[in-house]
Structure 1
Amino acid sequence: MQSAAFAVSPSTPLLRSRSSIPKPNPRCRIISTFPAARQAVSLIRDGPGPIRSLSPRLGGWNAVSVSSLPSRPDLAVKATSVPESAGESSAKSNELVQTLQLGSLFGLWYLFNIYFNIYNKQVLKVFPNPLTITTCQFLVGTVLILFMWITNIYKSPKITSSQLVAILPLAMVHTLGNLFTNMSLGKVAVSFTHTIKAMEPFFSVLLSAMFLGEQPSIWVLFSLAPIVGGVALASMTEASFNWAGFWSAMASNLTFQSRNVLSKKVMVKKDESLDNINLFSIITIMSLFLLTPFTLFIEGVKFTPSYLQSAGLNINQIYLRSLIAGLCFHAYQQVSYMILSRVSPVTHSVGNCVKRVVVIVTSVLFFRTPVSPINSIGTGIALAGVFLYSRVKKIKPKTA
């Protein structure tokens, strides 16, 4: 028998000498040691037909059916498809999370507002110094803002001198708006102050038409009628009515809506603009510096322990309630801007209307404010008008 290396294959039964046998491709040796790789190469080569494998032959490879190979479940190649419902369930889950977050923000907005009005009213009843109380609220807000900026809880803005000049009018009307609100809360019931403040849409339409050239639609004008009529009816039958409290609340409406109109003309260039939260933060700090000199000149330093003790007041109680009111004052406005960044202005306006209803009902129950049937009807009509206004506001007015 001749000493020669040979190999037998069903397709090539002849004998060949070593010199006549072509050398196999090195890549084929690598593939031959990995049955899974053989299957993958065959699948790519032969397309979607029956999966084939490669078997060695002289000088090359023969393709044979996979069915002829030993069964290897661990090497089986399976194609799995992603269910179409997987993407839908993920989207629904994200939507649910966002809805829960938004609902939590609305709940915090209402809760902080309720606590602010209750504790603020309790302090103003025994310490009728609205300038001092408002200054303390701006001080608490300023401390919170600086803490957030220093600790990078919220990124501090880069402010230029031109921006500060543009923001100054906003800070002035913001200061007056909060001062007039506290003056009204100190004179009349919380529920009546918020009933009068339901006339904010009236001043918004008036000032927008005067300074922005916005012509309101007929539906907006129609919604103002129940607001004005409801406030007038509630004022005629209000047990705690006095003109100082009434005009202070009206002045608060005027100044706050002036702030909203002015804010539309500030920060026109987008590259220099501030987000709502940082803009509110800058306004709060500027309001503190604007109001402090007037407070010291008009009311003096009356929030010291010695003065409160001489007035027969509970020092710890006054300080604690003032601190809670200041924290809630800043918190509810911050949350309000957070909500505004997530929803449309119309939705935010509807939420603000509901918030006013919640505050009025809560204050009436907490302070046991006497409310006549006609007063309740007037308040209800005014709030219904505010709700109607917020719904028809989505009809864009014509620009003059």
Structure 2
Amino acid sequence: MEEGVLFQWSVFRSLLAILQWWSFNVTVIIMNKWIFQRLDFKFPLTVSCVHFICSSIGAYLVIKVLKLKPLITVEPEDRWRRIFPMSFVFCINIVLGNVSLRYIPVSFMQTIKSFTPATTVVLQWLVWRKYFDWRIWASLVPIVGGILLTSITELSFNMLGFCAALFGCLATSTKTILAESLLHGYKFDSINTVFYMAPFATMILAIPAILLEGVGVVLWFQTHTEIFSAMVIIFSSGVLAFCLNFSIFYVIHSTTAVTFNVAGNLKVAVAVLVSWLIFRNPISAMNAVGCGITLIGCTFYGYIRHMLSQQPPVLALCMMSQDGLFVYAICLDRRGSRARCDKYTSLLR
């Protein structure tokens, strides 16, 4: 009886985590699009800067004031050597996302963002020379094909918005790769990550935002009629962007990897549907098919990664040299990529 109650609570907790994650994610996307399109506040650098300021304040309150999360201490040297490069890429990622929202519909932007698994695999293969199982490469085919079909049939296509979204995928992948190397030895959660990176990102973005968009923002204030309500929406999007980071941490710890992957793809579908209901951007039948193929490909990719992570390491064998037999253990790691294990020598007589 008690086990049944615990199981039901676990399921309820997972559903609650997914729903609040969906709510924050979709709301932030829709609000940002509303800011650019309906409020005519077409300044993505300034909006991103507001988000970073709100995230910095929110992380400080959670860790220092409310003490909901313990602070992970980072050496001052590592803050510049490790955190700053991550913050720079993090900043670029957010800015490119907002720039893409400025020029293309939410549905198209979200579909292109689904290209991130492919860019991550390709970058790891090119930069780190990681070997990936052929099934990983096969799972990327429907993702790439679906995005190509969606791009070709997009009725509201804009080259600047498309490139911003595409390079945003590269920035996200780069951030993931850098996190594995630069943050080695630190067990960061999402709040501590924001606590350290958001102030750096604000510092990086503030000057370009003032130089490139300062005059336009001043003119917008002079011509816009409902300043107070507009500022409430803009700063609310920043607060919700911070809450989104908190919700990601919660949903990761409340669900399995497979559930998180499927929920992420369904979240894209929900965002596309909600944005269409609000903004009524035209979507052709083939465009919808391309979006569906991409989401199916992302789900298949997540399933393959999970399946490979459950397999035990597979040892491959050896190389000969004049001094003896050098045996290299080559194994598939938990993400399906090949890693070289310890080398040992066995002399043959």
1:282-297 equivalences under 5 Å are 282-297=196-211
Structure 1 residues 351, 274: closer, same or farther in 2, change over 3 A? same
1:81-160 equivalences under 5 Å are 89-125=1-37, 126-148=40-62, 149-160=64-75
Q: Is the 8 A contact 1:308 1:314 kept in 2?
A: no
Deviation at 1:346, TM superposition (A): 4.2
Q: Is the 8 A contact 1:277 1:338 kept in 2?
A: no
Structure 1 residues 291, 345: closer, same or farther in 2, change over 3 A? farther
Alignment gaps of 5+ in structure 1:
1-88
Moved more, 288-297 or 382-391: 288-297
Q: Is the 8 A contact 1:167 1:283 kept in 2?
A: yes
Deviation at 1:127, TM superposition (A): 1.1
Q: Does 1:398 align with 2:338?
A: yes
TM-score (norm 1): 0.73
Q: Does 1:360 align with 2:276?
A: no
Structure 1 residues 282, 345: closer, same or farther in 2, change over 3 A? farther
Deviation per CA, 1:363-392: give whole Å up to 9, x if none.
Answer: 112211211111111111111111111111
How many Å separate the matches in 2 of 1:348 and 1:391?
A: 11
Size of the aligned set, in residue pairs, is 308
- RMSD of the TM alignment (CA)? 1.8
Structure 1 residues 313, 184: closer, same or farther in 2, change over 3 A? farther
Select the structure with the greater relative contact order (CA < 8 A; seq sep ≥ 6). 2
Aligned residue in 2 for 1:383: 295
How many Å separate the matches in 2 of 1:325 and 1:99?
A: 30
How many Å separate the matches in 1 of 2:132 and 2:67?
A: 42
Aligned residue in 1 for 2:245: 333
The DSSP-based 3-state class of the residue aligned with 1:264 is helix
Find the partner of 2:120 among 188, 192, 204: 204
Moved more, 330-339 or 342-351: 342-351
The DSSP-based 3-state class of the residue aligned with 1:268 is coil
TM-score (norm 2): 0.83
Q: Does 1:278 align with 2:192?
A: yes
Deviation per CA, 1:106-160: give whole Å up to 9, x if none.
Answer: 1011011111111111111201111101001111111111121222233333221
Structure 1 residues 212, 340: closer, same or farther in 2, change over 3 A? farther
Letter in 2 for 1:278: N
1:226-245 equivalences under 5 Å are 226-245=142-161
Q: Does 1:171 align with 2:87?
A: yes
Q: Is the 8 A contact 1:140 1:323 kept in 2?
A: yes
How many Å separate the matches in 2 of 1:108 and 1:203?
A: 28
Deviation at 1:167, TM superposition (A): 1.6
The DSSP-based 3-state class of the residue aligned with 1:299 is helix
Q: Is the 8 A contact 2:189 2:249 kept in 1?
A: no
Identity %: 23
Structure 1 residues 313, 381: closer, same or farther in 2, change over 3 A? farther
Letter in 2 for 1:155: P
How many Å separate the matches in 1 of 2:88 and 2:151?
A: 29
Deviation at 1:303, TM superposition (A): 4.7
Letter in 1 for 2:271: V
How many Å separate the matches in 2 of 1:299 and 1:246?
A: 21
Alignment gaps of 5+ in structure 2:
309-335, 341-349
Q: Is the 8 A contact 2:43 2:217 kept in 1?
A: no
Q: Is the 8 A contact 2:109 2:165 kept in 1?
A: yes
Q: Is the 8 A contact 2:55 2:194 kept in 1?
A: no
How many Å separate the matches in 2 of 1:103 and 1:347?
A: 10
Q: Is the 8 A contact 1:216 1:397 kept in 2?
A: yes
How many Å separate the matches in 1 of 2:138 and 2:225?
A: 49
The DSSP-based 3-state class of the residue aligned with 1:101 is helix
How many Å separate the matches in 1 of 2:194 and 2:259?
A: 20
Q: Is the 8 A contact 1:173 1:255 kept in 2?
A: yes
Q: Is the 8 A contact 2:114 2:294 kept in 1?
A: yes
Letter in 1 for 2:72: P
Q: Does 1:162 align with 2:77?
A: yes
Q: Does 1:184 align with 2:100?
A: yes
